[in-house]
């Protein structure tokens, strides 16, 4: 089975691309859903956040994700501590998902992971696909989607690796800063590429 890593920056349109790929029949592992599952169900993570960052991020034994996210994205040192704690749990779940799809004789499985390159997950992929968009579009999309002001939107973008640096690691790049029809053409070309693997 070929493992394809799909990445991009925040608000580059990965979700749109993923929906299109699902419609084309590809199996997707969504790392954000894995993170949500871990945050909502892993008591060890809840206790860690409470102990290390304070009970102000916990309400009714649930993590206040928006508040915690704003805090983590504005504190590099604490963000690294948190990522070092949670990443092994995420990677274990991703590995289990890949094994499941391989056991079900899938030919190709795509991992949608925003930090694919930053966390060196790309090293375990056969190919890396990057979804790219202009920075101004990223800012605008974050402000609209998440209800954040420009400063917080920029902070979230800056918390990730520069999208143009990610290009160096990509085997295939999709430019999602153009019209939707052009995106669809690019997805069709990507599908042709993947189906030849």
Per-residue pLDDT reduced to its tens digit, 167-183: 999 999 999 998 778 89
What residue spans define the domains of the chain? 2-196
Element (H, E) at 130: strand 127-132
Domain 2-196 has CATH 3.40.50.300: yes
- Over residues 90-110, the mean pLDDT reads 97
Residue 7: helix, strand or coil by DSSP? strand
Per-residue pLDDT reduced to its tens digit, 118-171: 999 999 999 999 999 999 999 999 999 999 999 999 998 998 899 999 999 999
The owner of tokens 């790049």 is 173
User: CB neighbours of 194 closer than 8 A, spacing ≥ 6?
Assistant: 2, 4, 26, 108
CA distances from 37 to 7, 40, 63 (A): 20, 5, 12
Residue 21, burial from CB neighbour count under 10 angstroms (0-12, 13-18, 19+): buried
């Amino acid at each position: 089975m070929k493992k394809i890593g799909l990445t991009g920056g925040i608000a580059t349109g990965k979700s749109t691309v993923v929906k299109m790929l699902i419609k084309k029949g590809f199996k997707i592992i969504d790392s954000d859903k894995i993170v949500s599952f871990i945050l909502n169900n892993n008591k060890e993570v809840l206790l860690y956040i409470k102990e290390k960052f304070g009970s102000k991020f916990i309400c009714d034994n649930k993590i206040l994700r928006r508040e915690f996210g704003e805090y983590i994205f504005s504190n590099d040192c604490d963000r690294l501590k948190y990522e070092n704690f949670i990443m092994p749990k995420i990677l274990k779940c991703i590995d289990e998902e890949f094994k499941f799809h391989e056991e079900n004789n899938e030919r190709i499985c795509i991992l949608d992971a925003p930090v694919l390159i930053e966390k060196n997950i790309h090293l375990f992929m056969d190919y890396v696909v990057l979804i790219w968009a202009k920075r101004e579009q990223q800012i605008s999309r974050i402000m609209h989607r998440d209800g954040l002001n420009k400063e917080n939107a920029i902070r979230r973008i800056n918390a990730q690796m520069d999208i143009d640096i990610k290009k160096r690691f990509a085997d295939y790049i999709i430019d999602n800063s153009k019209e939707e029809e052009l995106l669809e053409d690019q997805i069709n070309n990507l599908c042709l590429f993947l189906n030849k693997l």
